[in-house]
Copies of this chain bind each other. A is one copy, B any other.
Amino acid sequence: MRTNGISKRGREIPESPLRLLISTAQLVEKTGRQVYYLNLGEPDEFPPQSVSLALADFASRKIKYGQSSGEPELISAWQKYYNDFGVNISTDEIIVTTGASEAILFSLAAVADPGDEVLVFEPFYPNYLSIATLLGLKLRSVSLVRSRESFRLPPFENLRQQVTDKTRAIIFDNPSNPSGYVYSREELASLGRLAAENNLALIVDEVYRELVYEGRPTSILQFPEFKGRVIMLDSVSKRYSLCGCRIGCLVSRDQEIMTAVRHMCQSRLSAPVPSQRAAISALAYGQDYIKSYVETFRARREMVTRAFGDLPGAEYIQPTGAFYAFIKIPKLDNSEKFCRWLVSDFAHRNQTVVVAPGTGFYLKPEDGRLEFRLAFVLENDKLNQALTILREGITQYLKQLN
Protein backbone atom coordinates (compact mmCIF):
# COMPACT_ATOMS: atom_id res chain seq x y z
CA MET A 1 0.00 0.00 0.00
CA ARG A 2 1.06 3.56 -0.75
CA THR A 3 1.36 5.47 2.44
CA ASN A 4 2.81 8.66 1.03
CA GLY A 5 3.82 10.36 -2.18
CA ILE A 6 6.43 8.02 -3.61
CA SER A 7 5.68 5.36 -6.22
CA LYS A 8 6.50 1.67 -5.88
CA ARG A 9 9.02 1.92 -8.70
CA GLY A 10 10.55 4.98 -7.07
CA ARG A 11 11.07 2.97 -3.90
CA GLU A 12 12.43 -0.05 -5.76
CA ILE A 13 14.88 1.52 -8.22
CA PRO A 14 18.27 0.47 -6.80
CA GLU A 15 21.24 2.64 -5.98
CA SER A 16 24.09 2.10 -8.42
CA PRO A 17 26.68 -0.27 -6.94
CA LEU A 18 29.31 1.59 -8.96
CA ARG A 19 28.73 4.88 -7.22
CA LEU A 20 28.01 3.49 -3.78
CA LEU A 21 31.43 4.19 -2.28
CA ILE A 22 32.31 7.43 -4.03
CA SER A 23 31.14 9.77 -1.29
CA THR A 24 33.02 7.77 1.34
CA ALA A 25 36.11 7.81 -0.87
CA GLN A 26 35.87 11.57 -1.24
CA LEU A 27 35.80 11.96 2.53
CA VAL A 28 38.86 9.72 2.82
CA GLU A 29 40.65 11.86 0.22
CA LYS A 30 40.04 14.91 2.42
CA THR A 31 42.07 13.27 5.17
CA GLY A 32 45.07 13.36 2.82
CA ARG A 33 44.89 9.73 1.69
CA GLN A 34 45.32 9.06 -2.03
CA VAL A 35 42.45 7.10 -3.59
CA TYR A 36 42.62 5.26 -6.93
CA TYR A 37 39.23 4.85 -8.58
CA LEU A 38 38.83 1.46 -10.25
CA ASN A 39 35.07 1.47 -9.76
CA LEU A 40 33.80 3.51 -12.70
CA GLY A 41 34.02 2.32 -16.29
CA GLU A 42 35.35 5.47 -17.87
CA PRO A 43 38.65 5.80 -19.67
CA ASP A 44 40.99 8.45 -18.25
CA GLU A 45 42.02 9.63 -21.74
CA PHE A 46 41.68 12.70 -23.89
CA PRO A 47 39.21 12.25 -26.76
CA PRO A 48 40.40 12.43 -30.40
CA GLN A 49 41.86 15.86 -31.18
CA SER A 50 39.16 16.57 -33.76
CA VAL A 51 36.70 16.81 -30.85
CA SER A 52 38.29 19.88 -29.30
CA LEU A 53 38.31 21.62 -32.68
CA ALA A 54 34.65 20.76 -33.23
CA LEU A 55 33.60 21.97 -29.79
CA ALA A 56 35.62 25.19 -30.09
CA ASP A 57 34.11 25.83 -33.51
CA PHE A 58 30.61 25.19 -32.20
CA ALA A 59 31.09 27.52 -29.23
CA SER A 60 30.12 30.67 -31.10
CA ARG A 61 26.89 29.41 -32.66
CA LYS A 62 23.23 29.45 -31.74
CA ILE A 63 22.37 26.33 -29.75
CA LYS A 64 18.96 25.30 -31.05
CA TYR A 65 17.22 21.95 -30.71
CA GLY A 66 18.62 19.28 -32.93
CA GLN A 67 16.40 16.96 -34.92
CA SER A 68 14.60 14.57 -32.57
CA SER A 69 16.08 11.41 -34.04
CA GLY A 70 19.56 12.86 -34.39
CA GLU A 71 21.52 15.36 -36.47
CA PRO A 72 21.71 14.13 -40.08
CA GLU A 73 25.51 14.56 -40.07
CA LEU A 74 25.80 12.33 -37.02
CA ILE A 75 23.56 9.69 -38.55
CA SER A 76 25.80 9.74 -41.66
CA ALA A 77 28.90 9.47 -39.50
CA TRP A 78 27.46 6.40 -37.72
CA GLN A 79 26.48 4.87 -41.08
CA LYS A 80 30.04 5.30 -42.33
CA TYR A 81 31.43 3.80 -39.14
CA TYR A 82 29.25 0.67 -39.51
CA ASN A 83 29.96 0.53 -43.22
CA ASP A 84 33.71 0.38 -42.55
CA PHE A 85 32.74 -2.53 -40.35
CA GLY A 86 30.95 -4.30 -43.21
CA VAL A 87 27.41 -3.47 -42.12
CA ASN A 88 25.01 -1.38 -44.21
CA ILE A 89 22.44 0.59 -42.31
CA SER A 90 19.94 2.89 -43.97
CA THR A 91 19.09 6.31 -42.57
CA ASP A 92 15.75 5.16 -41.20
CA GLU A 93 17.31 2.25 -39.30
CA ILE A 94 19.38 4.40 -36.93
CA ILE A 95 18.43 6.89 -34.24
CA VAL A 96 20.75 9.03 -32.12
CA THR A 97 20.18 8.73 -28.37
CA THR A 98 21.38 10.54 -25.28
CA GLY A 99 23.95 7.87 -24.44
CA ALA A 100 23.43 4.14 -24.71
CA SER A 101 21.48 4.61 -21.44
CA GLU A 102 18.64 6.25 -23.30
CA ALA A 103 18.87 3.59 -26.01
CA ILE A 104 18.31 0.95 -23.27
CA LEU A 105 15.30 2.91 -21.98
CA PHE A 106 13.72 3.40 -25.40
CA SER A 107 14.38 -0.13 -26.69
CA LEU A 108 12.91 -1.78 -23.58
CA ALA A 109 9.90 0.56 -23.67
CA ALA A 110 9.34 -0.20 -27.36
CA VAL A 111 9.12 -3.95 -26.83
CA ALA A 112 7.77 -4.46 -23.30
CA ASP A 113 4.85 -3.20 -21.23
CA PRO A 114 4.51 -2.86 -17.45
CA GLY A 115 4.48 -6.33 -15.89
CA ASP A 116 6.41 -7.90 -18.78
CA GLU A 117 9.71 -9.70 -18.27
CA VAL A 118 13.16 -9.32 -19.77
CA LEU A 119 15.92 -11.94 -19.68
CA VAL A 120 19.45 -10.98 -18.57
CA PHE A 121 22.65 -12.92 -17.95
CA GLU A 122 24.31 -12.62 -14.56
CA PRO A 123 26.52 -10.88 -13.70
CA PHE A 124 24.79 -8.07 -15.65
CA TYR A 125 25.21 -4.32 -16.18
CA PRO A 126 23.32 -2.87 -13.17
CA ASN A 127 21.50 -0.19 -15.13
CA TYR A 128 19.49 -2.86 -16.98
CA LEU A 129 17.79 -3.42 -13.64
CA SER A 130 17.37 0.30 -12.86
CA ILE A 131 15.89 1.10 -16.24
CA ALA A 132 13.62 -1.97 -16.22
CA THR A 133 12.35 -0.88 -12.79
CA LEU A 134 11.71 2.65 -14.08
CA LEU A 135 9.60 1.13 -16.86
CA GLY A 136 7.68 -1.28 -14.61
CA LEU A 137 9.41 -4.36 -16.09
CA LYS A 138 10.72 -7.42 -14.30
CA LEU A 139 14.11 -8.97 -14.99
CA ARG A 140 14.62 -12.72 -15.01
CA SER A 141 18.15 -13.97 -15.00
CA VAL A 142 20.33 -16.87 -16.04
CA SER A 143 23.85 -17.00 -14.60
CA LEU A 144 26.83 -17.33 -16.89
CA VAL A 145 28.79 -20.45 -16.02
CA ARG A 146 32.00 -19.41 -14.27
CA SER A 147 34.85 -21.93 -14.49
CA ARG A 148 38.45 -21.25 -13.42
CA GLU A 149 39.41 -20.20 -16.96
CA SER A 150 36.38 -18.53 -18.46
CA PHE A 151 32.75 -17.57 -18.47
CA ARG A 152 30.28 -19.14 -20.86
CA LEU A 153 26.56 -19.14 -21.57
CA PRO A 154 24.76 -22.09 -19.93
CA PRO A 155 23.15 -24.79 -22.12
CA PHE A 156 20.19 -23.81 -24.29
CA GLU A 157 17.76 -25.76 -22.12
CA ASN A 158 18.65 -23.65 -19.05
CA LEU A 159 18.04 -20.46 -21.00
CA ARG A 160 14.71 -21.71 -22.29
CA GLN A 161 13.53 -22.53 -18.79
CA GLN A 162 13.64 -18.85 -17.85
CA VAL A 163 11.40 -17.77 -20.73
CA THR A 164 7.77 -17.34 -19.65
CA ASP A 165 4.72 -16.13 -21.50
CA LYS A 166 5.54 -12.65 -20.17
CA THR A 167 9.08 -12.55 -21.57
CA ARG A 168 9.47 -9.96 -24.30
CA ALA A 169 13.20 -9.49 -24.76
CA ILE A 170 16.74 -10.58 -23.99
CA ILE A 171 19.17 -7.77 -23.18
CA PHE A 172 22.92 -8.19 -22.79
CA ASP A 173 26.15 -6.44 -23.64
CA ASN A 174 28.89 -7.91 -25.82
CA PRO A 175 31.73 -7.55 -24.84
CA SER A 176 30.28 -7.74 -21.39
CA ASN A 177 30.41 -5.55 -18.32
CA PRO A 178 31.34 -6.67 -15.62
CA SER A 179 32.64 -10.09 -16.74
CA GLY A 180 34.91 -8.94 -19.58
CA TYR A 181 33.38 -11.83 -21.52
CA VAL A 182 33.01 -11.90 -25.32
CA TYR A 183 30.20 -14.16 -26.53
CA SER A 184 31.13 -16.75 -29.16
CA ARG A 185 29.48 -16.89 -32.57
CA GLU A 186 27.75 -20.11 -31.53
CA GLU A 187 26.40 -18.53 -28.37
CA LEU A 188 25.03 -15.56 -30.32
CA ALA A 189 23.41 -17.97 -32.75
CA SER A 190 21.75 -19.85 -29.89
CA LEU A 191 20.42 -16.59 -28.45
CA GLY A 192 19.01 -15.75 -31.86
CA ARG A 193 17.30 -19.14 -31.90
CA LEU A 194 15.90 -18.59 -28.39
CA ALA A 195 14.56 -15.19 -29.47
CA ALA A 196 13.04 -16.57 -32.69
CA GLU A 197 11.37 -19.53 -30.98
CA ASN A 198 9.77 -17.30 -28.36
CA ASN A 199 9.11 -14.13 -30.36
CA LEU A 200 11.53 -12.07 -28.26
CA ALA A 201 13.49 -8.96 -29.15
CA LEU A 202 17.25 -9.45 -28.97
CA ILE A 203 18.68 -6.22 -27.54
CA VAL A 204 22.46 -6.19 -27.81
CA ASP A 205 24.51 -3.43 -26.22
CA GLU A 206 27.81 -3.12 -28.08
CA VAL A 207 29.41 -0.08 -26.48
CA TYR A 208 32.70 -1.99 -25.99
CA ARG A 209 32.71 -3.45 -29.53
CA GLU A 210 36.38 -2.81 -30.46
CA LEU A 211 37.72 -3.78 -27.05
CA VAL A 212 38.31 -7.47 -27.82
CA TYR A 213 41.71 -8.98 -27.11
CA GLU A 214 41.41 -12.24 -29.04
CA GLY A 215 40.08 -12.31 -32.58
CA ARG A 216 38.31 -9.47 -34.36
CA PRO A 217 35.42 -7.32 -33.16
CA THR A 218 32.00 -8.54 -34.28
CA SER A 219 28.51 -7.10 -34.20
CA ILE A 220 25.10 -8.72 -33.89
CA LEU A 221 24.26 -6.75 -37.03
CA GLN A 222 26.49 -9.16 -38.94
CA PHE A 223 23.92 -11.95 -38.44
CA PRO A 224 21.48 -11.30 -41.29
CA GLU A 225 19.21 -14.08 -40.06
CA PHE A 226 18.28 -12.09 -36.89
CA LYS A 227 17.40 -9.02 -38.94
CA GLY A 228 14.02 -7.85 -37.67
CA ARG A 229 14.50 -9.17 -34.14
CA VAL A 230 17.68 -7.32 -33.21
CA ILE A 231 17.95 -3.93 -31.56
CA MET A 232 21.59 -2.91 -31.37
CA LEU A 233 22.69 -0.22 -28.91
CA ASP A 234 25.92 1.74 -29.20
CA SER A 235 27.76 4.73 -27.76
CA VAL A 236 30.73 6.98 -28.42
CA SER A 237 31.49 7.11 -24.66
CA LYS A 238 34.05 4.33 -24.27
CA ARG A 239 35.39 4.11 -27.84
CA TYR A 240 36.37 7.79 -28.07
CA SER A 241 36.67 8.69 -24.37
CA LEU A 242 33.54 10.84 -24.60
CA CYS A 243 31.63 9.54 -21.57
CA GLY A 244 30.53 13.03 -20.53
CA CYS A 245 28.95 13.79 -23.92
CA ARG A 246 26.13 11.25 -23.50
CA ILE A 247 25.78 10.31 -27.15
CA GLY A 248 24.75 6.87 -28.31
CA CYS A 249 22.53 5.29 -30.92
CA LEU A 250 20.00 2.58 -31.52
CA VAL A 251 19.79 0.46 -34.69
CA SER A 252 16.82 -1.68 -35.71
CA ARG A 253 15.45 -2.97 -39.01
CA ASP A 254 11.88 -3.09 -37.60
CA GLN A 255 10.15 0.06 -38.80
CA GLU A 256 7.28 -0.27 -36.33
CA ILE A 257 9.76 -0.25 -33.45
CA MET A 258 11.68 2.62 -35.05
CA THR A 259 8.48 4.68 -35.32
CA ALA A 260 7.80 4.12 -31.63
CA VAL A 261 11.37 5.10 -30.72
CA ARG A 262 11.12 8.19 -32.94
CA HIS A 263 8.06 9.29 -30.98
CA MET A 264 9.94 8.66 -27.72
CA CYS A 265 12.75 10.84 -29.08
CA GLN A 266 10.25 13.61 -29.78
CA SER A 267 9.16 13.43 -26.14
CA ARG A 268 12.61 14.75 -25.13
CA LEU A 269 12.97 17.05 -28.18
CA SER A 270 16.59 16.23 -29.11
CA ALA A 271 19.84 14.74 -27.91
CA PRO A 272 22.35 17.38 -26.68
CA VAL A 273 23.64 19.28 -29.68
CA PRO A 274 27.17 20.33 -28.56
CA SER A 275 27.76 16.66 -27.70
CA GLN A 276 26.52 15.61 -31.13
CA ARG A 277 29.10 17.93 -32.73
CA ALA A 278 31.79 16.23 -30.63
CA ALA A 279 30.55 12.79 -31.66
CA ILE A 280 30.45 13.70 -35.36
CA SER A 281 34.10 14.74 -35.25
CA ALA A 282 35.14 11.68 -33.25
CA LEU A 283 33.43 9.27 -35.64
CA ALA A 284 34.81 11.06 -38.69
CA TYR A 285 38.43 11.15 -37.61
CA GLY A 286 38.62 8.49 -34.94
CA GLN A 287 39.93 5.34 -36.71
CA ASP A 288 43.54 5.76 -35.65
CA TYR A 289 42.39 6.71 -32.19
CA ILE A 290 40.54 3.41 -31.79
CA LYS A 291 43.58 1.39 -32.87
CA SER A 292 45.89 2.90 -30.29
CA TYR A 293 43.05 2.85 -27.76
CA VAL A 294 42.68 -0.91 -28.07
CA GLU A 295 46.46 -1.37 -27.70
CA THR A 296 46.43 0.79 -24.58
CA PHE A 297 43.81 -1.39 -22.96
CA ARG A 298 45.46 -4.59 -24.13
CA ALA A 299 48.61 -3.53 -22.25
CA ARG A 300 46.55 -2.68 -19.16
CA ARG A 301 44.86 -6.05 -19.30
CA GLU A 302 48.32 -7.65 -19.20
CA MET A 303 49.10 -5.63 -16.08
CA VAL A 304 45.92 -6.87 -14.42
CA THR A 305 46.70 -10.44 -15.41
CA ARG A 306 50.20 -10.16 -13.97
CA ALA A 307 48.74 -8.79 -10.74
CA PHE A 308 45.94 -11.32 -10.28
CA GLY A 309 46.77 -14.38 -12.40
CA ASP A 310 48.76 -15.92 -9.56
CA LEU A 311 47.42 -14.19 -6.46
CA PRO A 312 46.71 -16.79 -3.77
CA GLY A 313 43.07 -16.81 -2.77
CA ALA A 314 41.86 -15.09 -5.98
CA GLU A 315 40.09 -16.66 -8.97
CA TYR A 316 40.95 -14.49 -11.93
CA ILE A 317 39.52 -15.01 -15.41
CA GLN A 318 41.49 -13.00 -17.92
CA PRO A 319 38.93 -10.74 -19.66
CA THR A 320 38.65 -11.26 -23.42
CA GLY A 321 36.88 -7.94 -23.92
CA ALA A 322 35.90 -4.57 -22.40
CA PHE A 323 38.02 -3.11 -19.60
CA TYR A 324 36.76 -4.96 -16.57
CA ALA A 325 37.92 -7.91 -14.53
CA PHE A 326 35.35 -9.65 -12.33
CA ILE A 327 37.47 -11.27 -9.67
CA LYS A 328 36.30 -13.97 -7.29
CA ILE A 329 37.73 -14.39 -3.82
CA PRO A 330 36.23 -17.69 -2.67
CA LYS A 331 37.07 -17.04 0.99
CA LEU A 332 35.48 -13.57 1.07
CA ASP A 333 32.75 -13.12 3.68
CA ASN A 334 30.93 -10.31 1.91
CA SER A 335 32.13 -8.26 -1.03
CA GLU A 336 30.29 -5.11 0.01
CA LYS A 337 31.96 -5.26 3.39
CA PHE A 338 35.31 -5.89 1.70
CA CYS A 339 34.95 -2.96 -0.74
CA ARG A 340 33.87 -0.64 2.04
CA TRP A 341 36.76 -1.82 4.23
CA LEU A 342 39.22 -1.05 1.42
CA VAL A 343 38.01 2.53 1.23
CA SER A 344 37.41 3.25 4.90
CA ASP A 345 39.80 1.11 6.93
CA PHE A 346 42.66 0.01 4.75
CA ALA A 347 45.68 1.88 3.44
CA HIS A 348 48.95 0.91 1.88
CA ARG A 349 51.45 3.77 2.25
CA ASN A 350 48.48 6.08 2.81
CA GLN A 351 46.88 5.06 -0.46
CA THR A 352 43.84 2.95 -1.25
CA VAL A 353 41.50 1.88 -4.07
CA VAL A 354 37.79 1.85 -4.84
CA VAL A 355 36.33 -1.20 -6.59
CA ALA A 356 32.69 -2.20 -7.13
CA PRO A 357 31.18 -5.00 -5.02
CA GLY A 358 29.85 -7.97 -7.00
CA THR A 359 26.51 -7.83 -5.21
CA GLY A 360 25.13 -5.14 -7.51
CA PHE A 361 25.54 -7.27 -10.63
CA TYR A 362 22.98 -9.93 -9.62
CA LEU A 363 19.25 -9.92 -8.95
CA LYS A 364 19.96 -11.58 -5.60
CA PRO A 365 22.82 -9.55 -4.12
CA GLU A 366 24.14 -12.55 -2.16
CA ASP A 367 25.01 -14.25 -5.45
CA GLY A 368 27.80 -11.69 -5.88
CA ARG A 369 29.11 -11.80 -2.32
CA LEU A 370 32.43 -13.42 -3.35
CA GLU A 371 33.18 -11.18 -6.34
CA PHE A 372 34.19 -7.63 -7.14
CA ARG A 373 34.68 -5.68 -10.37
CA LEU A 374 37.69 -3.60 -11.22
CA ALA A 375 37.81 -1.28 -14.23
CA PHE A 376 41.35 -1.00 -15.64
CA VAL A 377 40.86 2.52 -16.83
CA LEU A 378 43.72 4.44 -15.21
CA GLU A 379 46.89 5.36 -17.02
CA ASN A 380 49.63 2.74 -16.67
CA ASP A 381 51.64 4.12 -13.76
CA LYS A 382 48.59 4.80 -11.68
CA LEU A 383 47.05 1.47 -12.60
CA ASN A 384 50.19 -0.38 -11.60
CA GLN A 385 50.22 1.36 -8.25
CA ALA A 386 46.49 0.73 -7.73
CA LEU A 387 46.86 -2.97 -8.52
CA THR A 388 49.69 -3.33 -5.99
CA ILE A 389 47.53 -1.69 -3.34
CA LEU A 390 44.55 -3.87 -4.21
CA ARG A 391 46.61 -7.09 -4.01
CA GLU A 392 47.89 -6.01 -0.66
CA GLY A 393 44.35 -5.18 0.44
CA ILE A 394 43.02 -8.60 -0.53
CA THR A 395 45.84 -10.36 1.27
CA GLN A 396 45.39 -8.34 4.45
CA TYR A 397 41.61 -8.68 4.43
CA LEU A 398 41.78 -12.45 4.07
CA LYS A 399 44.40 -12.64 6.81
CA GLN A 400 42.23 -10.75 9.28
CA LEU A 401 39.24 -12.98 8.41
CA ASN A 402 41.16 -16.03 9.68
Whether A63 pairs with B47 at a CB distance below 8 angstroms is yes
The reply to whether A5 and B274 form a contact with Cβ atoms under 8 Å apart is no
**Chain B residues within an 8 Å CB radius of A63:** 47, 51, 241-245, 278
Is there contact, CB below 8 Å, between A244 and B65? yes
A64, B110: Cα distance in complex, Å: 29
Task: Quickly give the copy total for this chain.
Answer: 2
Give the interface size bracket for A toward B: 35 or more
Instruction: Give the contacting residue for A10; candidates B13, B134, B260; CB below 8 A.
Output: B260
Assess A257 versus B6: contact at CB under 8 Å? Given A16-B266, A272-B244: yes
Bound complex: CA A66 to CA B42 (Å) = 11
Check if A390 is an interface residue, CB within 8 A of chain B.
Answer: no
Contact bitstring A29-45, B, C-beta under 8 A = 1, else 0: 00000000000101011
Q: Are the CB atoms of B62 and A45 closer together than 8 Å?
A: yes
* Docked pose: A244 CA to B64 CA in angstroms: 5
Chain A, range 134-185, C-beta contacts under 8 Å to B: 134-136, 168
Task: Report Cα–Cα, A59/B50, bound state, in Å.
Answer: 10
Q: How far is the CA of A229 from the CA of B4 in the complex (A)?
A: 10
**Interface assignment of A55: CB less than 8 Å from any CB of chain B:** yes
A270 close to B (CB within 8 Å): yes
Q: Is the CB of A114 within 8 A of B111?
A: no
> What per-residue 1/0 map shows which CB atoms of A245-284 lie under 8 Å from chain B?
1100000001011001111101111111111001000000
A98 within 8 A of B: yes
Complex Cα gap A244–B96 (Å) = 14
A24 located at the interface, meaning its Cβ lies under 8 Å from any Cβ of chain B in the complex? no
A19 within 8 A of B: yes
Q: How far is the CB of A111 from chain B (nearest CB, A)?
A: 5
Max chain B C-beta neighbours (<10 A), residue from A16, A52, A246 = A246
In the complex, chain B residues whose CB is within 8 Å of the CB of A199: 4-5
